[in-house]
Amino acid sequence: MSLAPIRLFVLNGPNTNLYGLDPTGPYGTLTLEDIAETCRTRAQALGGTVDFRQSNHEGALVDWIQEARLAADGIVINAGSLSYSSIAILDALAAVSKPALQVHVSNVFKREAFRHHSPLSAAVMGCIIGLGPEGYPTAVEALIRHIRAV
């Protein structure tokens, strides 16, 4: 029996397009495209697909979350700095009612205090924090397994 592919949106917010440009920084040496390819490979191995997107604009992320209502089975989101301030993204995630996981590449609890709370956490199943770029494919795998189990 063949199962329908699980379709995931992996959404990325401001400045995530700069990953890999500062190997001494908190985000490592992999570029966002390197991470996207790893996510696609992991999803494919589990019978899923990944639509990987990045924008520096809050409204684009909201639009994509709303699009996911009909076009995706789940959402992985790293909203970048908007993780700490965007009620619009929180409301979109809550309204769409798709299973979602939030990814933080760095360990936010070892950084500035304002990063210790993300309003988005109230609208997602869970958060993967501090695993570096491996947090993305880990989230993809966990979300596909969760959706298959439901």
The verdict on whether residue 106 carries a ligand-binding annotation is: yes
Nearest to 124 by CA among 143, 144, 110: 143
Q: Respond yes or no: is residue 146 known to be catalytic.
A: no
Sheet strands (E) in the chain:
6-12, 48-54, 74-78, 100-104, 126-129
Q: How far apart are CA 81 and CA 115, in angstroms?
A: 9
The verdict on whether residue 145 carries a ligand-binding annotation is: no
Residue from 57, 104, 116, 146 carrying the catalytic annotation: 104
Q: Respond yes or no: is residue 27 known to be catalytic.
A: yes
The verdict on whether residue 2 carries a ligand-binding annotation is: no
Residue from 27, 57, 84, 117 carrying the catalytic annotation: 27
> Which residue type is seen at 14?
P
The verdict on whether residue 91 carries a ligand-binding annotation is: yes
List active site positions: 27, 104
Binding-site positions:
78, 91, 105-106, 115
Binding-site positions for substrate:
78, 91, 105-106, 115
